[in-house]
Amino acid sequence: MDRITVNHYLILLVLIDDPMLGIRQLGERLQKHNVELSYHLIKKMTNELREWGFLRAPREIHDPVLVGNTREVSEVEALYNPSLLGLTRQHLILKGIDREESVYKFAKYCDIHPFTHYRILGVGENVIAYAQFDVPEDSKALMKRFYEKFSKEVKAKSCDVLNASRVSTSELNLSMWSFMGSDWEFNIRGGKNSLEEWWDKNQSTTTTYTSFAHDSVLHTLDNLDLTLIRELNINAKVKATDLAKYYGKNISTISRRLTKLKSTVVTKYRLYYNRSKFDLTLSLLLSGEVNNAAEIDTMHKLVETNYFPFKSTLASDKNKFIWSMNIPPTISSDLAFFIWTKVKRLTVFNLVLQDGNSWRYPFYPNNYNADSRKWNLDEADPEVIFKGN
């Protein structure tokens, strides 16, 4: 391995916990771990993490929506909560994809649709196409027609849609990673601090399915704000000076807008790090149903408390759930079997990340007209999406 040291790992650990820290802030955080490093050494070691592939290196991308069409991305992206914008994130699983042509069409129509947030392929009993859409409340009937048509176009054997009414996320917890042994100190069954032990001690007794709604802040935003959400979604470290030049505004105006967005719409930051350095080479999707509210509540608690030490997102709607995660391959079978014993139904898929099969779409500001306070639904009409195809 490259000349990686414990201090490199500590810097990475701190950045995973708070990706937006600057060099001086990193130094202050490291002091809490009784590590004293100079400003220049921290900067050097952070650059080495990029050079050695631990962190995503800066690069230039083409963006067809933003002014100038060219942006630099860093290792950090800002994430927004769709419900704060009056949107519901719908999860779509198209099962039984058995033709290469269908895979092409899946990507094509996801690229065309203005509400698409994410798409990926998966493999289990058969090939699936999995996508997420951020959907305005008054377009759900429109989306239902789209999903029906979409399923027929890609010749899927079945089509499942989940409205995410409760979402929990866990972040990478490197305190369970052995720097010396290069493995995870996390057990599914047996032994101290195992998942089995945690589950037995923390089982919920609730009889009510919980959903979390947020008051929309959309009415407080204008068209510039919406565009800046996309800017932050692409690069959370974008400079206010650059944005001021792009949009012909003074720096103080842009800075105020960014501060407002970061305190309202932006709910967390994603650090792009090389998962293979921590043996997190398997992306798994668990889809299923629980028997009762207590089971799904226990699953959400497991994720929310971050006892599950891997990056994951659990979305549910009453008794149905979808749980995506990045985990070590060595625990996948035991984890899937353990969850299978706790729920009513479970289907497991390995997600395919290579060769353009996975794509995350930045926030699309043109979906909403802040002047008229209306969503632009014309581009989402199935008749438009599938016209001539």
**Residues 170 and 158 placed together within one structural domain of the fold:** no
Those residues whose C-beta lies under 8 Å from the C-beta of residue 336, and which sit 6 or more positions away, are 284, 286, 346, 348
Residues of the chain with pLDDT under 50: 1
**Residues 198 and 129 placed together within one structural domain of the fold:** no
pLDDT at position 174 is 82
The verdict on residue 216 lying in a domain is: no
User: How many domains are contained in the chain?
Assistant: 4
CATH code: domain of residue 157: 3.30.70.600
pTM as predicted: 0.94
The verdict on residue 73 lying in a domain is: yes
**Residues 206 and 293 placed together within one structural domain of the fold:** yes
**Residues 75 and 126 placed together within one structural domain of the fold:** no
**Whole domain around residue 236: which residue ranges?**
59-80+222-264
pLDDT at position 70 is 96
The verdict on residue 381 lying in a domain is: yes
**Residues 22 and 118 placed together within one structural domain of the fold:** no
Nearest alpha-carbon partner for 116 in 129, 104, 133, 103: 133
Three-class SS string for 174-227? Answer: HHHEECCCCEECCCCCCCCCCHHHHHHHHCCCCCCCCCCCCCCCHHHCCHHHHH
The verdict on residue 205 lying in a domain is: yes
**Residues 171 and 289 placed together within one structural domain of the fold:** yes
**Residues 288 and 337 placed together within one structural domain of the fold:** yes
The verdict on residue 235 lying in a domain is: yes
Nearest alpha-carbon partner for 194 in 281, 306, 307, 303: 307
pLDDT at position 223 is 96
**Residues 19 and 159 placed together within one structural domain of the fold:** no
Q: Which two tokens stand for residue 265?
A: 């719409």
Cα R_g (the chain), whole angstroms: 22
**Residues 279 and 347 placed together within one structural domain of the fold:** yes
For 77-87, what is each residue's pLDDT tens digit? 999 999 999 99
**Residues 240 and 99 placed together within one structural domain of the fold:** no
How many C-beta neighbours within 10 Å does residue 335 have?
A: 22
CATH code: domain of residue 202: 3.30.70
The verdict on residue 217 lying in a domain is: no
The verdict on residue 76 lying in a domain is: yes
**Residues 139 and 173 placed together within one structural domain of the fold:** no
Are 132 and 117 contacting, i.e. CB atoms less than 8 angstroms apart? Answer: yes
pLDDT at position 259 is 96
**Residues 344 and 362 placed together within one structural domain of the fold:** no
The verdict on residue 1 lying in a domain is: no
Q: Which two tokens stand for residue 110?
A: 């996801």
